[in-house]
Amino acid sequence: MLASMAADDIPSTVDAIRSSSAALTTALVPRNQFAAYPSIIEIRPGTGGSEATLFTNDLYKMYTTFFSLQRWQTTVISYQTHAETGGEGCSEAVISVATPESYDLLRHESGVHRVQRVPATETKGRTHTSTATVMVLPKLGEDEAEVENGTDDDPLAHIDMKEVRIDIMRASGAGGQHVNRTESAVRMTHLPTGIVVSMQDSRSQHKNKASALAILKAKVAEKRRKEREEEALSMRRGAVKVGAGRSDKIRTYNYTQNRVTDHRSGESSHDLPGFMKGNGLKEMIEGVREWDKQRSVEVMLAMQEIEDEKKKKEGR
Amino acid sequence: MPRLPPHLVTTARAQHPLLPLLLRQTRTLPLALSELRWLREYISQLPNLTLSRQHDHLRHLCRRRSLGAPLQYLLKSQPFGDVDILCGKGALIPRPETEETVVRLFSLLESQLHKNNHNNALLPTDRELRVLDLCTGPGSITLLAASNLYQLHLPRGFRVLGVDISRAALTLARRSLKYNITTGALPPAAKHSISFITADILNSNTHAAIEENFGDGSVDIVIANPPYVSLEGYWKDTSRSVRLYEPEMALVPPSGRDGVRREDVFYPAIESLSRRVHARAVVLETGGDEQSARVEQLFEGSGWRTGVWVDFAGVRRNVVAWGDDSWSWLATSSHS
């Protein structure tokens, strides 16, 4: 009697443990500093020549249909066709997503996307592997760019302005009062890390500079943080190398097997045509988000262990 | 202007039927796309326009743009640092070089105040900090200077006075002041910290007018972006859109005098006025390398210490001058 009553409690207790564990994980993992912002997504071909530009175009279509499914407000900032493949290929697409919090979801899309298929241009039926690179940036408003989002307080975001190259699209000629040009694009390069940020959003060159610098700092900080995390994780896990390396490919689109696999969460979708129309993308990103949370907790543990180890040594 | 390559026009048309019109002015596709985006953003903010009216209006603006109308006139304003300057006939459109100048001046001042913890000879002790903007045109420098000065939280506050000969330009400047208060870029108190007066600085009534506004007639910082284009340069170096749409009087000084080149005429007037108001620092925009050299020489001849700032395009764009050593940090070379 008592045993069966106790047994009744087990499933609900297990559920309670699970949900509080999930809540604890969520509470432990700090929210991304730019989570609340709208975003800018950039897609560019990687390796694979004109097939890569075709795949870039496929990704472009995938994201635009996904955005309209989400009813997100978007503006195409740049869409450059690739002449060689008869207008079907795309050599650069930049989309601005006005929806707040879109950065928090889309930031997980940043990275190298790989495609395996027999390209339309292939005559001998061979499978090719090509890539496209997706980059997602938070879209900072004017005020946020000015205060630089508190990145000033983040020691990892500290950069020496002497190591930043600023390129401004300039007219040849006298400048100043002589011309009323509208070109305001700014490109910034952090020389030690090679990180590049281009900004052409505002009509004010000064504002573009301010937002480019804010994003540059955030990206440098992210890179440094990742390096630190990888190091901590590989120490915790012994000699085992962590993952496939976060800078590597994040997802494979295999047309011959009708499969999309995310290499971080390990999850797959077996409806590739549907996926390319934006179906299942949200679920896959949610999976990556979960993976990212777990990983963050592990990173925190690893960091703590390194701290403890240090203290022990000092105490001795 | 060379003809646009046909494939560029074809590519542009494939992306948007109105792009070829913008391409005539922008000459590059990325900039044409940016202009199209800015025009669409502007139109989408206009009240009570149906979709088809929006499209008609967009086509109309693109047509005007293709004929050389400045984008800033079509959009009616230009962002300038943290403020927006209203644009229209009768006043110069603010330039990025000038924006850079103002931002640089006040970020240098801020770091100086920071270093010395507000406790130094930089700020006047018995009154507010005073800034005089000569040839203010649509008030660009005045408004951006004020916006920057608010962020310094000066213990005794500040005042900025913009001076120009053109009533049309000052009408626009006063409207811009109100506009920036409405948008929140400037606080309502800016009404009292900012004034504009009509005066011809090439004639001598200016000092009296300044005294009327600034009690004892003394000023701390003088900034000016005076007309500095030579007549020859006006026909040779300015773009067609500038000649067609912007006031010539904002670019080319009225005439030469006393052996001074026509394009340099304002600088001796600004120098003597700066001395008269006991300015501690002077920041000037010039047409570039050679003119900057002449202006430096002029100021040094009257006992000022001088330096030159290089703009984002590598041109020696500004001459800075100061009297006593507490302002010698003005010579700090550019960081960008």
pLDDT-derived band at B18, boundaries 50, 70, 90: very high
Give the pairing type, strands A186-190 and A164-168: antiparallel
Contact B96 A206 (CB under 8 A): yes
A76 CA: distance to closest CA in chain B (Å): 9
Q: Which residues of A touch B316 (CB under 8 A)?
A: none
B86 CA: distance to closest CA in chain A (Å): 14
Contact B238 A78 (CB under 8 A): no
B79 closest CB neighbour out of A81, A173, A203: A203
- Model's pTM, two decimal places? 0.79
What residues 95-124 of chain B have any CB closer than 8 A to a CB of chain A?
95-100, 103
pLDDT at residue A32, rounded to an integer: 80
pLDDT-derived band at B4, boundaries 50, 70, 90: confident
Give buried/exposed letters for A267-290 (b at 16+ CB in 10 A, else e): bebeebeebbebbbbeebbebbbe
DSSP string, A159-191: --GGGEEEEE---SS--GGG-------EEEEET
Contact A179 B238 (CB under 8 A): yes
Query: pLDDT tens digits for B296-312?
Result: 999 999 999 999 999 99
Contact B229 A170 (CB under 8 A): no
Cβ atoms of B21 and B12 within 8 Å: the answer is no
B34 closest CB neighbour out of A166, A170, A200: A200
B312 closest CB neighbour out of A142, A170, A174: A170
pLDDT at residue A316, rounded to an integer: 62
B128 closest CA partner among B173, B194, B174, B197: B194
What angle is formed at CA B79 by the lines to CA B75 and CA B81, rounded to 5 degrees?
A: 175
Q: What is the mean pLDDT of chain B?
A: 92
Strands (DSSP E) contained in B121-274 are: 129-134, 158-164, 194-198, 221-224
For testing contact with chain A, the best of B76, B95, B236 (most A CBs within 10 A): B95
Cβ atoms of A103 and A39 within 8 Å: the answer is yes
Asked whether the predicted pLDDT for residue B116 surpasses 80, the reply is no
Alpha-carbon distances, residue A58 vs A62, A89, A119, A220 (angstroms): 6, 9, 12, 30
Quick one: average pLDDT of B130-157? 96
A300 φψ region: left (φ > 0), alpha (ψ -120 to 50), beta (else): alpha
For testing contact with chain A, the best of B99, B150, B333 (most A CBs within 10 A): B99
Query: pLDDT tens digits for B247-280?
Result: 999 999 998 777 899 999 999 999 999 999 999 9
Distance, in Å, from the CA atom of A255 to the CA atom of B180, rounded to the nearest integer, reads 55
For testing contact with chain B, the best of A57, A82, A92, A182 (most B CBs within 10 A): A182
DSSP string, A94-154: EEEE-STTHHHHHGGG-EEEEEEE--TT-SS---EEEEEEEEEEE---HHHHHHGGGGGG-
Fold of A141-242: Double Stranded RNA Binding Domain (3.30.160)
pLDDT at residue B118, rounded to an integer: 53
Query: pLDDT tens digits for B176-198?
Result: 999 999 999 999 999 999 999 99
Q: Token pair for residue B93?
A: 């459109």
Q: Which residues of B touch A205 (CB under 8 A)?
A: 96, 99-100, 312
Cβ atoms of B140 and B94 within 8 Å: the answer is yes
Distance, in Å, from the CA atom of A63 to the CA atom of A67, rounded to the nearest integer, reads 6
pLDDT at residue A171, rounded to an integer: 64
**For chain A, which residues score pLDDT lower than 50?**
145-150, 239-246
pLDDT at residue A302, rounded to an integer: 84
pLDDT at residue A245, rounded to an integer: 45
Q: Which residues of A touch B100 (CB under 8 A)?
A: 205-206
ipTM of the complex: 0.91
B93 CA: distance to closest CA in chain A (Å): 7
Let me know if domain A34-139+244-283 sits in CATH 3.30.70.1660. Answer: yes
Contact A180 B93 (CB under 8 A): yes
A170 closest CB neighbour out of B34, B81, B313: B313
Q: Token pair for residue B321?
A: 């001058």
Q: Token pair for residue B288?
A: 């570039």
Distance, in Å, from the CA atom of A218 to the CA atom of A199, rounded to the nearest integer, reads 14
Contact B78 A203 (CB under 8 A): yes
First-to-last alpha carbon distance for chain A, in angstroms, is 55
A81 closest CA partner among A99, A66, A63, A93: A93
Quick one: average pLDDT of B110-129? 82
Contact B70 A180 (CB under 8 A): yes
A204 closest CB neighbour out of B34, B70, B79: B79
Cβ atoms of B69 and B241 within 8 Å: the answer is yes
Query: pLDDT tens digits for B198-244?
Result: 999 998 778 888 888 888 889 999 999 999 999 999 999 999 999 99
Domain ranges across chain A:
34-139+244-283, 141-242
Query: pLDDT tens digits for B77-115?
Result: 999 999 999 999 889 999 999 999 999 999 999 989 888
CB neighbours (10 Å) of residue B288? 23
pLDDT at residue A246, rounded to an integer: 47
B212 CA: distance to closest CA in chain A (Å): 31
What residues 165-194 of chain B have any CB closer than 8 A to a CB of chain A?
none
